[in-house]
Amino acid sequence: MRLRPQPISDERASALVVALTLYRGIMHALSPALLRRRARIGKEDASRLSERNGLATRPRPDGPLIWIHGASVGESLAVLPLVAVLLEKPDRHVLVTTGTVTSAQLMAERLPPRALHQYVPVDSVNSVRRFLSYWRPDLALFVESELWPNLILETRRMGVPLALVNARLSAKSFAGWGYAPRLARRILSCFDACLAQDEDIAKRLTALGASHVRVTGSLKADAPPLPVDEYALAGFRAGLGARPVFLAASTHAGEEEIVLDVATMLRDEGARTLTVIVPRHPGRGAEIAALAASRGFSVARRANHELLTGQTEVYVADTLGELGLFYRAAQFAFVGGSLVPHGGQNPLEPAGLGVAVIVGPHTENFDGIVRALLNAQSIGRVTSKEELFSLVQELTRFPERALELGTRVKIAAGRLGGALAATVELSETMLACHART
C-alpha cells in the first residue's frame, strides 16, 4: 500500500500558503527581539549575534565553497568525517553552520583547516539573503531534518545546488506535514536529491514531494568513535574500582527521576553499582545532583571537579564532550531521550564502542537504527522503571552477558555504514554539474 500524507481540503491548503506569507512577516518583525531575549538567557552567543542576522564575521575564502548545515551538536558531529573527505581536494573550503552555542564550541575545537563555522541566520528573508549573498556557496548540504522554509526557498531561488543528506523524518513529523502537503511539496521539491537514513524515511519523503530519494544509511554509522582523554579515563577507572556502572547517557528532564528510582532499587538489593548520569544539557547538572541528594545518595559532580570515591553512589557527568569517556567505562548504557517523548538520542555512539544499548519506547529519531541494533541484541527495549531495573540488574550481575551483547551490537553497528561514501559521491557529482553550468 502506498504511503500517503493525510489529505486536506483546498481551502486549508490555500490558507497554508497565506500562512507562509504571514510567517515571513512575523519572522522579519520579531526575530531581532527574539534573538536579544535568547542572548540574555544564554541560548545565543551575544558576541556573534550579527551572524544570526546574516552578517558574516569571517571573510569568504576564494575558490569553491561547500556549505553544510546541521542544526545542533549531533548533526554537526556527524558531518565531521564528511568535511574531512570533502577537503581532500586542496582548492576548496567548507562552511559549517549550526544554531546552538554548544555546537559552535565543538566546531571551534574540531573543524580542520579550511573549514570554518558560522551561526545559521534566523529564518527571515532579509537575514537569509544577506547570508547567501555574502557566502555564495557552490553547494548546500542540509543534514537530517532541518527544514526552515525561508532558508531552503531562498537557497533554491539563488540557484545553489541543494541536497538533503542523512535525512530523517519520523512518523509523527510525517503526519504533521500531512496537514500541509502543498507547503511540504514546495519545500522538499527545492532539493535536487535526498539521501535517507532508511526505507521508511525514504517513503515518507517521497510521499511528501521529495524527488531523487535513495536510502544510504546514517552518517553517524560512519563516524569515528567518540574521543576520549586517556588520562581522564584512567583517573575515573581508578576511582571506580571494581564496581559495575549503570550509565544513563544523554538524559532529558523526566528521565533522571526514573534512573534514580532504578538506582534506589539497586541499592535496596544490596548492589554497589555506581550510577552515572550524563545529561543531554550539562547546565542541568546542579538540578540533577540536588535531586539525587534529596533521595539520600552520596553525589559527586564532574563540573565541580568533585572526586569519585568508593562512597560515591551517583556521579553527575555534567561536562561537555566527555561522553566517550563514560561509554568506555561501562559495559551497557541506557540512551536517553527515549523514556520521554523526545525521540531518542544516538544509539550508534555506544554501539560502536561495543557497549550494550538500552532504550525506552520513544526512539522515532533513530527507528531503523534502533531496530537493527536491538535485533542483534534480542533485548534492550524497556517501557517502565521496573523493566529498566530488571535489565540493569541482569547485566550488572552477569557482566559476561553484557559483554556478549556489546559484541553483537558493535558488529550490527558496523553493518550500517556506507552513508559517508554515498554523500561524498553525490556532493562531487553536484559540484561537477554546477561547475559546467
The CATH number given to whatever domain includes residue 46 is 3.40.50.11720
pLDDT of residue 2: 41
132 domain residue, yes or no: yes
Q: Give dist(CA 116, CA 131) in Å, integer.
A: 14
pLDDT along the chain (437 residues), means of 10: 44 58 76 83 90 96 96 83 96 95 90 96 94 98 85 96 94 87 90 95 95 94 92 97 97 98 97 97 96 98 96 97 97 98 95 98 92 97 98 97 98 94 97 83
Task: Estimate the crossing angle of helix 10-40 against helix 125-135, to 10 degrees.
Answer: 70
Q: Which residues pair with 275 in a beta bridge?
A: 246, 314
For 37-67, write each residue's pLDDT tens digit.
888 888 889 999 999 999 999 999 999 999 9
As given in the structure block, the three cell numbers for residue 42 are 544564554
Do 251 and 337 sit in the same domain of this protein? Answer: yes
Residues 36 and 179 reside in one and the same domain? yes
Q: Which long-range contacts (CB under 8 A, 24 or more apart) does 22-25 make?
A: 23/149, 24/124, 24/125, 24/150
Q: Within this chain, do residues 182 and 248 fall inside the same structural domain, yes or no?
A: no
Catalytic site positions: 75
Other beta carbons within 10 angstroms of residue 434's beta carbon come to 16
Same domain flag for 186 and 299: no
235 and 216, same structural domain? no
pTM for the full model? 0.83
CA atoms within 13 A on the CB side of 201: 26
- The domain that holds 331 is classified in CATH as 3.40.50.2000
Number of domains in the chain: 2
Same domain, residue pair 394 and 256? yes
In the three-class reduction of DSSP (H, G, I as helix; E, B as strand; rest coil), residue 249 is classed as: strand
Same domain, 216 and 280: no
Residue 4 resides in a domain: no
Do 265 and 164 fall within a single domain? no
What are the helix (H) ranges across 143-198? 149-157, 171-177, 181-188
Angle at 344 between CA 199 and CA 325, to 5 degrees: 115
Shared domain for 146 and 251, answered yes or no, is no
The string of DSSP codes covering 392-408 is: HHHHHH-HHHHHHHHHH
Helix (H) or strand (E) holding 311: none
Is residue 5 in some structural domain?
A: no
Which domain, by its residues, includes 57? 10-222+421-436
Any domain includes 3: no
Clarify whether residues 238 and 307 are in a common domain. yes
> Considering the domain boundaries, does residue 203 fall inside one?
yes
- Write the pLDDT tens digit of every residue in 231-284: 999 999 999 999 999 999 999 999 999 999 999 999 999 999 999 999 999 999
> Does some domain include residue 388?
yes
Residues 140 and 111 in one domain: yes
Report the helix count and the strand count for the chain, using DSSP H and E.
19, 13
